[in-house]
Amino acid sequence: MSATEPAAVAETPDLYGAYPRLSEGQIERLAERGERRATEAGEVLFREGDEGYDFHAIVAGRVAVVQGQGPDERLIAVHGPGRFLGEVSLLTGQPSFLTAIVREAGEVLVVPVDELRDLVARDSALGDLILRAFLMRRSILIGLGAGIRIVGSRYSRDARRLREFAARNRIPHRWIDVEKDPEAEALLRELGIAPEETPVVVWRGEQVLRNPAGEELARVLGLPASHSDDAICDLVVVGSGPAGLAAAVYGASEGLATVALDAVAMGGQAGTSSRIENYLGFPSGISGGELAERAVIQAEKFGARLSVPSEASGFEQRDGHFAVRLDGDGNRLVEGRAVLMTTGVHYLRLPVERLDEFEAESVYYAATEAEALMCAGDPVAVVGGGNSAGQAALFLSRHVPVVRLLAREDDLTRCMSRYLIDQVENAPRIEVMLNTEVRELVGDDGVLEQIVVEDNRDSERRTIPAKAVFVFIGAEPHTGWLGGRLELDERGFILTGAAMPGCRLLETSLPGVFAAGDVRSGSIKRVASAVGEGSMAVRLVHEYLADRHSWQQPGQT
């Protein structure tokens, strides 16, 4: 449906708090920070691709929010008096993914984004209403496949890299497979691109990025970029999962000049979790993506500088401070008086032949909306007996007809929390197969059809149908890049505190370098403990800096 059709004038009902109405009092408070102005039918308030667009509240009339233009125009929502426009991009500095067009003349209240930030920081009820709506709208956009289009072959590793980059960074996107999507051929013809020149990313319907590197895509889409500031900051946080983001929030809010880097996306492993149910304060659970988005907004509010994609490839000591070298990006250095390593872990690959062949299309290491969309309607297998496997199975069972949970243990209680076991066992679409190990992947042209599994008690093999396999079989730490500069345990995790005589808790073998979260030897692999350690580390950084530079930390008497 187009925004210009008459039916578009009807207001879109509120969906899960995505489209709430402001009270009169809230509109008055916003009016003190902005300007009211009349609108005309057909007027564009902001366009797809606009950077730094203003916050608009509708006082009178109706506004349609659309994606694309001309024949490709797609109506997303229509808003009337009391509603407001925008989504997460407005607060994070990304360009708008949508265009807002006045459908019925009226009046809007326009508030510059800096004024909005200041107001919501002071008015928590208003801040909460707007933030919840923005986060929900981002989820809706992701679900609708609005935003950028990624066009490529399902067999291309680069296409998969781009899809993963978009998914991990919660960039709304639509995947168009040149192998099977009926619209792919016409789209490529229109753009003047041969299939062998894919993958491409299409932005605003016209800008084509040919197989862009993560940095290029991040720049175009306004992700927090690396800064060209040469100043030495107080704290460099390497890795921005829950531990790193917590350190960024606490560091910046306690007056430390803090830079937080991530190689892939803010949020780390937690960002790949469809629902975290045991994090304090979220009784109905929270998606990892939303937790990460909230933390990013909070860290930026306090002035932390975030940078993605920024992969640390080495670090060294220089004249009493540290220099972290970034991969690519002209081997740029980020310098700090203290460094916190929060690089977490990455998931192990299945030890089976032909894995490489199927990895681009049918093997996944995360289960979020993006992966669920890829295999909706097909049977899938989840490998692993821990909480991440259990969560993935539960989430996928809402999208696919059957999920087989393959665990090599003889009992799920060995590695999975009781609350999850109960849910898994009661889910009608999940079949749990214990004592089961994957032996072979079967299919053609990189598309998985079946997997051969073996019962580890009697070695009996059977073949089960599976269009995709989700792997959660353990993890190893991201410490290879440290080049032996820090002491590690026998499994490669960073040793700290009690394990290192004379060190502060969470301090590594190198004074001034700290470690927190999953990458730390002996840590509890949970979101809450990573967040706790990330925040504790900031306190220890203060102590280290105070000892070293006789520097008085703010607020301490």
Ligand X SMILES: Cc1cc2nc3c(=O)[nH]c(=O)nc-3n(C[C@H](O)[C@H](O)[C@H](O)COP(=O)(O)OP(=O)(O)OC[C@H]3O[C@@H](n4cnc5c(N)ncnc54)[C@H](O)[C@@H]3O)c2cc1C
Q: List residues near ligand X by CB under 6 A.
A: 238-244, 261-264, 268-270, 272-273, 276-278, 311-312, 342-345, 366, 387-388, 391-392, 478, 481, 517-519, 525-528, 530
CB of 453 to ligand X, least distance (A): 22
What is the rounded CA–CA span in Å between residue 164 and residue 30?
Answer: 38
**First-residue to last-residue Cα distance in the chain:** 63
Nearby residues of 501 by Cβ (< 8 Å), 6 or more positions away: none
CB of 419 to ligand X, least distance (A): 10
**Residue in the structure block whose two tokens are 């889910």:** 427
What is the rounded CA–CA span in Å between residue 315 and residue 546?
Answer: 23
Of 129, 30, 146, 26, nearest to 77 by C-alpha is: 146
The residue (of 92 and 240) whose beta carbon lies closer to ligand X is 240
The residue (of 66 and 468) whose beta carbon lies closer to ligand X is 468
CB of 472 to ligand X, least distance (A): 6
The residue (of 89 and 387) whose beta carbon lies closer to ligand X is 387
The residue (of 87 and 262) whose beta carbon lies closer to ligand X is 262
CB of 358 to ligand X, least distance (A): 20
Integer-rounded Cα Rg, in Å, for the chain is 25
Dihedral in degrees, nearest 10, Cα atoms 259, 265, 268, 273: 150
What is the rounded CA–CA span in Å between residue 11 and residue 101?
Answer: 14
Three-state secondary-structure class, residue 242: helix
The residue (of 177 and 262) whose beta carbon lies closer to ligand X is 262
What is the rounded CA–CA span in Å between residue 311 and residue 214?
Answer: 11
Burial class (CB in 10 A: 0-12, 13-18, 19+), 519: buried
The residue (of 165 and 203) whose beta carbon lies closer to ligand X is 165
CB of 420 to ligand X, least distance (A): 8
**Residue in the structure block whose two tokens are 């991040």:** 218
Q: Give, in degrees to the nearest 5, the angle at Cα 11 between 10 and 16.
A: 145
Three-state secondary-structure class, residue 314: strand
CB of 477 to ligand X, least distance (A): 9
CB of 533 to ligand X, least distance (A): 8
The residue (of 116 and 340) whose beta carbon lies closer to ligand X is 340
Of 385, 451, 452, nearest to 420 by C-alpha is: 385
Residue 92 falls in which region: left (phi positive, over 0), alpha (psi -120 to 50) or beta = alpha
CB of 494 to ligand X, least distance (A): 11
What is the rounded CA–CA span in Å between residue 469 and residue 462?
Answer: 16
The residue (of 124 and 413) whose beta carbon lies closer to ligand X is 413
The residue (of 76 and 297) whose beta carbon lies closer to ligand X is 297
The residue (of 253 and 343) whose beta carbon lies closer to ligand X is 343
What is the rounded CA–CA span in Å between residue 196 and residue 188?
Answer: 11
Of 151, 149, 154, 152, nearest to 359 by C-alpha is: 154
Residue 151 forms beta bridges with which residues? 176, 200
The residue (of 39 and 272) whose beta carbon lies closer to ligand X is 272
CB of 487 to ligand X, least distance (A): 18
**Residue in the structure block whose two tokens are 């919660």:** 170
What is the rounded CA–CA span in Å between residue 275 and residue 392?
Answer: 9
**Burial code of 400-432, b = ≥16 C-beta within 10 A, e = fewer?**
bebbbbbbbbeebeebbbeebbebbeebebbbb
The residue (of 253 and 273) whose beta carbon lies closer to ligand X is 273
What is the rounded CA–CA span in Å between residue 240 and residue 291?
Answer: 12
What is the rounded CA–CA span in Å between residue 484 and residue 481?
Answer: 8
Residues listed for the chain: 557
The residue (of 324 and 451) whose beta carbon lies closer to ligand X is 324
Q: 48 with 67: CB under 8 angstroms?
A: yes
CB of 266 to ligand X, least distance (A): 7
Closest residue to ligand X, judged by C-beta, is: 344
CB of 537 to ligand X, least distance (A): 11
- Phi and psi angles of residue 75, each rounded to the nearest 5 degrees, phi first: -80, 130
CB of 301 to ligand X, least distance (A): 20
CB of 435 to ligand X, least distance (A): 23
